Structure 1
Amino acid sequence: MLPNLVKGQPAKPSPGKDLAALQQAFVDLRFGMFIHFNIPTYMDQDWADPEASPAIFNPTKLDCNQWAKAAKAANMTYGCLTTKHHSGFAIWDTKTTDYNVMNSPFKKDVVKEYVNAFRANGLKVMLYYSILDTHHKLRPGQITQKHIDMVKAQLTELLTNYGEISALIIDGWDAPWSRISYDDIPFGEMYTLIKSIQPNCLVMDLNAAKYPAEALYYTDIKSYEQGAGQHISKESNKLAALSCLPINDNWFWKTSFPSRPVKEPAKLVNDNIIPFNNAYCNFILNVAPNRDGLIDENAVAALKEIGKLWKHQGPTQKLPAADAPIIAHNMAKHQATNSSWSDDMWIMDFATDDDFGKPWISNATVKQPWFEVDFKYSRPFSAIVIAEAGRRPRIKKYRLEYYADGAWKPIVAGENTGKIKVHRFQPVTGERVRILIDAFDAPPQIAEFGVFNEK
């Protein structure tokens, strides 16, 4: 029997489904409620003091059923609660830290209250979790194995004790403001852990700002935070996606919220829900409960109005086929490179600098461009991803090769005309890998050349 299981919830997740089917099911949900509710609620801030006392967290009138009813009124299909935000306060009964809700005056597991209420109202359950944790000093330059173990233990609790979780929305990972890389807290290990406990739990990392829109880098669903300037292309998106926005001006509740207008329901419907749903994108609207643990009347009224203006029409259009997410460590990152002639301002090192905004660009006079990564010693790898820069792809035909036992050996001859060229193959072991470009319609420019040893 699993420990501390929420009463009435299954002890084991259902058998694993195909990822494409899970992505389709997520997009088909269309519209849900983000719920930013945590210790920042009591500080009039979105980023709380990491040393804030648990004594301030006391939602004396907490009613997660009210949240669920408000979501149903808007024809939402799921909720997602901030189990832990950037300052590290956990609003569930965790055994990993004393900095949690059970040591507050409230002394009740908010995650448990939330999942029970939303399921009772026929809504699916998702959870938000922050990798950045300033209370526990889980931040750049200070990360230890204990931090990695804590993240694993917390994710295990959340995925073991609360029944089936449809998705985890993870924040503060590989973001320019958190600066915690997928190597500091190893993404592949966490992804594998999540899927081993709940195979049908989608993993979403809020990382769309950094990575190209044409591929799933370190996420099952392409996520866009509008307030951070991340906007999906409603015309060209072909990936399962999520776009998020708060109904108020901020994510966490502020003392001004009850008296300030919320976003117009008609605008949320016509500028967000409908066009996003038509672009393979689910829309999640944040509604922040107040310090009593209730959603303010103006927000409740707006949700009712949304429900009058918009109805859930069932499944969306079928998602196009897509490559599986890239989840492994990029072995080429910051490795030595070489190439055919390129101007110094577009030198080859830019193709392995983990920055998609600065590409290697071949000199226009070179007729047979090539680019190479040198690991200095033999290493196994099983995938290569070439991300072209610019608005359109330029490379038309190419070959990938690896160097082993004193000779170059073929991997694949490619004619992938997309901007992101993903190649997965049986593992090979080599000390160098290269691309030979045989046909192009403009000087090739590679934003990032990734090499991965996928398990």
Structure 2
Amino acid sequence: MAVSVREAAGVSPSPRQLAWQELEFYGFIHFTVNTFTDREWGLGDESPAIFDPSELDAAQWVQACVSSGMKGLILTCKHHDGFCLWPSAYTEHSVRSSPWRDGQGDLVREVADACREAGLKFGIYVSPWDRHEPSYGDSPAYNAFFLNQLRELLTGYGELFCVWFDGACGEGPNGKRQVYDWDAYYGLIRELQPNAVISVCGPDVRWCGNEAGQTRTSEWSVVPATMRDNEKIQESSQKVDDGAFAKRVGSQDEDLGSRAVLAEAEEAVWYPAEVNTSIRPGWFYHASEDDAVKSSEELMDLYERIVGGNSTFLLNLPPDKRGLLHENDVAGMKALGDRIRSTYGKDLAIGAEVLASCARDAAHGGDRLTDGDRLTFWQAPEGVEQAELVIELGAERRFDRVVLAEHIREGQRIERFRLEAQDAGGGWISLYEGTVIGYKKICRFEETTAKRLRLILSESRWSPTLSGFEVYRSRQ
């Protein structure tokens, strides 16, 4: 049974998904024994003795995140090698067996405390694949082991905003492939951390489909429900041509939520995208990449395309063997933050008069777009799917960015729009044409001078909403 346009318009985020979306930009820390072996994936046979960062300073990591404008940080508490950055009671393969802090350290606690001291949200990455644990591959035994470790992380470090899983799954020592008990993992997280989103291999946040920072022209948050299982499907089962799999929308597909896609779906869910990439070519630190750190221009382009493309931006920062972020990475983060603050520091449309071709009622008039309050919003009447809004800036302004925002508490509804500026002769010139808006759309174009803008919503679902229309100039 197809998902109707009306049904799709009614799908909206949960409170935890909404809080996560509002973070917009947050960091990933990849740090473990791989940092000391110069590998990306450990084998599980690494000696804990090699883990001995000489100058580790979690506050330095956090300060770099703050300088860039990030609002949260996710730590790789256990990667595929199985080495735990906390003193787990269920294995000796952890910081407790390392010389770092004389075996008394707990890196998860240090990072969690540093985040809270600086006002950042804290999240955890924990790999279900464990190449060290002997019980891996004995599915019931390992699932019990993993749940015990997960419970330690969920109860020992305060409130978490995210639990981040990937689907890596190899054979265990017995030659058998581990079958993860995802439902049990999810149930424990919901019980102990009900406000945390479960990401990638989880029901709350989906993988964008690549690790290169690539973004879609149209990023839908409302997608077929089958997408929630994409990253959990093992490679062997993906090759089975059972008919249903042939209709499955893949994470790498360009079109995830158009009317055509939903016409083939039985159910639609709110499953928004996170785009993850690294500030360097690798995920863990390699000295050979010290001169390959992304420039502030590259990072700014990523930020505007990702956060301004209805996704969140998860940027990886790998500490070095000292336990510090390299100077080049720190400088890049500060330069990015300066650019973001400079570009988006002054909204030229605050208080601007907005003339709307229609509105649901007086409480949802056009003036709600420019009042600076994301909780207020304009909305078209029920069933009206096209509208025009004219924004009077009051005086001629120079600008090259317009930021649009739907009131996603009511769903994601806008399918196509056009942004125009009025020229000196009273005619309208096109600045930008786009498709979806969602939580945030950053429209970038050549610098323009105008005192009147027009937004034309040419296609939408049922009754479109907008909670924000902001105007900026990137060159101050």
- Using structure 2 for the length normalisation, give the TM-score: 0.56
Does residue 1:300 correspond to 2:284, yes or no?
A: no
Matched ranges for 1:81-230 at <5 A: 81-106=75-100, 107=103, 108-137=105-134, 142-173=137-168, 184-206=179-201, 218-224=202-208, 226-227=210-211
Determine the C-alpha separation between the residues in 1 that align with 2:135 and 2:208: 24
Which residue in the other structure is 1:286 paired with? Answer: 316
Q: Would the alpha carbon gap of residues 97 and 248 (structure 1) be closer, same or farther in structure 2, given more than 3 Å must change?
A: same
Determine the C-alpha separation between the residues in 2 that align with 1:237 and 1:135: 39
Deviations 1:303-349 (Å, cap 9, x if unpaired)? 010011113789664337679xxxxxxxxxxxxxxxxxxxxxxxxxx
Does residue 1:55 correspond to 2:49, yes or no?
A: yes
More divergent stretch after superposition (130-139 vs 78-87): 130-139
Q: CA deviation at 1:224?
A: 2.7
Does the aligned pair in 2 maintain the 1:24–1:318 contact within 8 Å? no
Q: CA deviation at 1:138?
A: 6.1
Q: Would the alpha carbon gap of residues 276 and 317 (structure 1) be closer, same or farther in structure 2, given more than 3 Å must change?
A: farther
Aligned-partner SS, 1:203: strand
Determine the C-alpha separation between the residues in 1 that align with 2:336 and 2:20: 20
Determine the C-alpha separation between the residues in 2 that align with 1:297 and 1:130: 29
Q: Would the alpha carbon gap of residues 220 and 180 (structure 1) be closer, same or farther in structure 2, given more than 3 Å must change?
A: farther
Which one of 244, 266, 271 corresponds to residue 297 of structure 2? 266
Q: CA deviation at 1:201?
A: 1.1
Q: CA deviation at 1:286?
A: 0.5
Which one of 213, 217, 220 corresponds to residue 237 of structure 1? 220
Determine the C-alpha separation between the residues in 2 that align with 1:231 and 1:275: 9
Q: CA deviation at 1:84?
A: 0.1
Q: Which amino acid aligns with 1:31?
A: F
Q: CA deviation at 1:19?
A: 6.0
Determine the C-alpha separation between the residues in 2 that align with 1:268 and 1:200: 29
Does the aligned pair in 2 maintain the 1:261–1:298 contact within 8 Å? no
Which residue in the other structure is 1:319 paired with? Answer: 408
Determine the C-alpha separation between the residues in 1 that align with 2:176 and 2:300: 35
Q: Which amino acid aligns with 1:100?
A: S
Which residue in the other structure is 2:65 paired with? Answer: 71
Q: Which amino acid aligns with 1:280?
A: N
Which residue in the other structure is 2:279 paired with? Answer: 247
Deviations 1:351-403 (Å, cap 9, x if unpaired)? xxxxxxxxxxxxxxxxxxxxxxxxxxxxxxxxxxxxxxxxxxxxxxxxxxxxx
- Using structure 1 for the length normalisation, give the TM-score: 0.59
Aligned-partner SS, 2:275: strand
Determine the C-alpha separation between the residues in 1 that align with 2:176 and 2:407: 35
Q: Would the alpha carbon gap of residues 236 and 48 (structure 1) be closer, same or farther in structure 2, given more than 3 Å must change?
A: closer
Does the aligned pair in 2 maintain the 1:36–1:252 contact within 8 Å? yes
Total equivalences in the alignment: 288
Deviations 1:190-219 (Å, cap 9, x if unpaired)? 10111001111111125xxxxxxxxxxx42
Q: CA deviation at 1:280?
A: 2.3
Deviations 1:57-90 (Å, cap 9, x if unpaired)? 0012110000011001101111010000001000
Aligned-partner SS, 2:22: helix
If each structure's helix is expressed as a fraction of its own residues, which one has the higher value? 2
Matched ranges for 1:416-427 at <5 A: none
Determine the C-alpha separation between the residues in 1 that align with 2:213 and 2:306: 13
Unaligned runs of 5+ residues in structure 2 are 1-11, 222-270, 346-372, 375-404, 413-460, 462-476
Deviations 1:203-249 (Å, cap 9, x if unpaired)? 1125xxxxxxxxxxx4211123633x785424242242211001011
Aligned-partner SS, 1:300: helix
Q: CA deviation at 1:49?
A: 2.6
Aligned-partner SS, 1:245: strand
Determine the C-alpha separation between the residues in 1 that align with 2:118 and 2:406: 26
Identity of aligned residues (%): 30
Determine the C-alpha separation between the residues in 1 that align with 2:95 and 2:154: 18
Does the aligned pair in 1 maintain the 2:205–2:273 contact within 8 Å? yes
Does the aligned pair in 2 maintain the 1:34–1:284 contact within 8 Å? yes
Q: Would the alpha carbon gap of residues 151 and 255 (structure 1) be closer, same or farther in structure 2, given more than 3 Å must change?
A: same
Aligned-partner SS, 1:88: coil
Determine the C-alpha separation between the residues in 1 that align with 2:166 and 2:75: 12
Q: CA deviation at 1:174?
A: 6.7
Q: Would the alpha carbon gap of residues 236 and 286 (structure 1) be closer, same or farther in structure 2, given more than 3 Å must change?
A: closer
Aligned-partner SS, 1:148: helix
Determine the C-alpha separation between the residues in 2 that align with 1:225 and 1:56: 34
Aligned-partner SS, 1:29: coil
Q: Would the alpha carbon gap of residues 289 and 143 (structure 1) be closer, same or farther in structure 2, given more than 3 Å must change?
A: same
The Cα RMSD (Å) is: 2.8
Determine the C-alpha separation between the residues in 1 that align with 2:120 and 2:135: 33
Determine the C-alpha separation between the residues in 2 that align with 1:236 and 1:91: 35
Q: Would the alpha carbon gap of residues 234 and 95 (structure 1) be closer, same or farther in structure 2, given more than 3 Å must change?
A: farther
Aligned-partner SS, 1:298: helix
Determine the C-alpha separation between the residues in 2 that align with 1:175 and 1:274: 36
Q: Would the alpha carbon gap of residues 133 and 120 (structure 1) be closer, same or farther in structure 2, given more than 3 Å must change?
A: same
